[in-house]
Homo-oligomer: A and B are copies of this chain.
Amino acid sequence: MTEQRSQTGAPLHHVVAAKQFTRELVSALFARAQELQAQLPGPPRRELEGRIMATLFYEPSTRTRLSFESAMLRLGGQVVSTENARDFSSAIKGETLEDSIRIVGGYADCIVLRHPEEGAAKRAAAISPVPVINAGDGPGEHPTQALLDLYTIATEVGRLDHIRLVLVGDLANGRTVHSLSQLLSMYPGLHATLVAPDRLRMSPNLVAQLLAGGAEVEETTDLLAAVENADVVYQTRIQTERMVEPWTADEAELSRFRITEETMRGLPASAIVMHPLPRVGEIDPAVDDDPRAAYFRQARNGVPVRMALLSTVLGR
């Protein structure tokens, strides 16, 4: 297994799972990301000039792809890209993921992989001649999303310990919620309030992990009460497309988990609202102009965080 847990700033190679990010590595990456962000857009950088990143996407994810490509270009690097990587493994040509990775690894200096199957990134890393960065493997991991979420909390709230986190929405299927709560539980004093429709509650298994990591966990369906002492309200989308059994959500039930101007009135002045985006109604657009609405800044943070990651993985 080629996956690495790096120590204190030691270079990363493959980036497959959020659990690779130790506190020391997070610290080093965030210091670098802040430094890079302070200089954006700024004069052209050349530190990755002559280096090529391949984006190999077996399912479309335009936001994630553009964010990675922007990060690479901002460092002076170059990009080759495919949004149709399924062509590699079509009924006609039937190539394995492993073969595709070996081939693309001969064209590029790192591979950003998006794949619908859990474990795809780990399989790719096991045979790739160049670093593989997991940009989401189905219900599995999306470690760079978790990292930019954590970065957003660090820069907006100003600390990572003793965070009062309210997780709202689909806590059963949302891999971002899982990865983020996992990362946050590395820091002391995490208090997580879980606010989900009954059918979409966090799995007992993950709740147990949070508790084992030292977090306090409570569950409620009362969003208004939950946000009153929050530092961070993390809202998620109901990912019906990832559900095994089809589910037609009950509008009235869902509306109780929506963030509106009323919710914002109950939220502390120093708290923030996050969302991995896209949203489809879970947050009322009337909230967008509230300075505590951090979700577009969160999306924007993807670029400096991925710049820090790419410069660590590919830096000479």
Contacts and interface: CB of A to CB of B under 8 A. Distances in A.
Interface of A: 41-46, 49-52, 54, 60-63, 65-67, 69-70, 73-74, 78-85, 87-88, 92-96, 98-100, 102-104, 106-109, 240-241, 277-281, 285, 296, 299-300, 302-303
Contact of A50 (B42, B78, B85): B42
B296 A102 contact: yes
Given A50-B45, A94-B278, A104-B66, A87 B60 contact: yes
A41 B45 contact: no
Contact of A70 (B108, B280, B285): B108
A115 to B, nearest CB: 15
A96 B281 CA distance: 10
A80 B67 CA distance: 9
21 contacts: A42-B50, A44-B50, A45-B50, A52-B70, A52-B73, A62-B87, A66-B80, A66-B108, A70-B108, A79-B80, A82-B83, A83-B83, A88-B278, A92-B240, A95-B277, A95-B280, A100-B278, A102-B296, A102-B299, A106-B296, A106-B302
B62 A85 contact: yes
Contacts of A240: 92
Contacts of A66: 54, 80, 82, 104, 107-108
A259 B255 CA distance: 60
A220 B18 CA distance: 55
A67 B80 CA distance: 9
A70 B303 CA distance: 23
Nearest to A73: B78
B280 A94 contact: yes
A25 to B, nearest CB: 25
A172 to B, nearest CB: 18
Given A85-B62, A99-B277, A109 B41 contact: yes
A112 to B, nearest CB: 13
B241 A92 contact: yes
A236 to B, nearest CB: 13
Contacts of A299: 102-103, 106
A85 B95 CA distance: 23
